[in-house]
Structure 1
């Protein structure tokens, strides 16, 4: 009985892995984006992978991979995106709270490296420093943690106590 209880607890705390069809066992360069800090569990979550010259990072026309899922009700969310080869990449994440496909004031976002973002950066559409957001992908899984940030008053920051 104790073993069953421990197994149930372990399963309850395990991250929820949302895999794209292209990111199956045997994928040479899987990037696992571990997303935390949701303000709520409504809407959709989008992850994009960027490679190539840093000037192309965060340009929606230059995304190598784009995937989107409904936000799960609870737990840490991991989304697997396949990198085409070993190299240097960046990811961005958007929590579309109302699921309308538009960026609204209540939506959250983040990027690899969890760069600080100011309200002025958002208003002027400034990209984060590429040295801060880049990560290397080799053989095997690459884990990329991203903490979502939301507009709160006059600043953009993670939500205290977010799930």
Structure 2
């Protein structure tokens, strides 16, 4: 029969029991979201990688592209200067947790693009976002102004780093997250 301990008794037993379970290898692994994409194994192995939680998608259509850049102002968002690129069809359901393998620990920045109609060309139906979720205006898009690297960069060590990116879409004369 299982005996429920009073709270003060649990505190006395809790720490030593936890230490014993860790020593015996029974510690729970950190909870990580299920990774998708062609590089999902890197996140599953908890190696140098980024698990990008893409939020605020307008429609479950088209393709999703995640590009990883070194935190270098000369190469950030420049054509073909990304370190890694993952492109996949948007799944019909479930969370969008895209894994991107990182070649080595360091400082990086991410750009996520939702090509809603899968045309491969930028148009008003597409959405996008960056690590750090900086505010962008429609003018920034029109004049191709980059967000500050200091707002988008993050560091990755020898384990999976989780990052949230909220997508923005053109809404009237604004470029913002849905519902904002």
TM-score, normalised to structure 2, is 0.76
Whether 2:85 is the aligned partner of 1:74: answer no
Which string of whole-angstrom CA distances, capped at 9 and with x for unpartnered residues, describes residues 14-64 of structure 1?
Answer: 955213247434463111111010111110100000015222111131011
* C-alpha distance in 2 between matches for 1:120 and 1:92: 18
Tell me if the contact between 1:118 and 1:156 (Cα under 8 Å) persists in the aligned partners: yes
Structure 2 CA distance for partners of 1:15 and 1:40, relative to 1, 3 Å: farther
Which string of whole-angstrom CA distances, capped at 9 and with x for unpartnered residues, describes residues 62-102 of structure 1?
Answer: 01111111111123201111111111000100000110111
* C-alpha distance in 2 between matches for 1:137 and 1:80: 13
The DSSP-based 3-state class of the residue aligned with 1:18 is coil
Whether 2:65 is the aligned partner of 1:46: answer yes
Structure 2 CA distance for partners of 1:22 and 1:160, relative to 1, 3 Å: closer
* C-alpha distance in 2 between matches for 1:134 and 1:144: 11
Structure number with the higher strand fraction is 1
Q: 1:135 aligns with which of 147, 154, 162?
A: 154
In terms of mean alpha carbon deviation, does 66-75 or 14-23 score higher? 14-23
Structure 2: segments with no counterpart, 5+ residues: 1-31
- By relative contact order (CA 8 Å, sep 6+), the higher-ranking structure is 1
* C-alpha distance in 2 between matches for 1:143 and 1:60: 25
RMSD of equivalent CA atoms: 1.9
Structure 1: segments with no counterpart, 5+ residues: 1-13
TM-score, normalised to structure 1, is 0.84
The number of aligned residues is: 148
Aligned to 1:4: none
Greater Rg, structure 1 or structure 2? 2
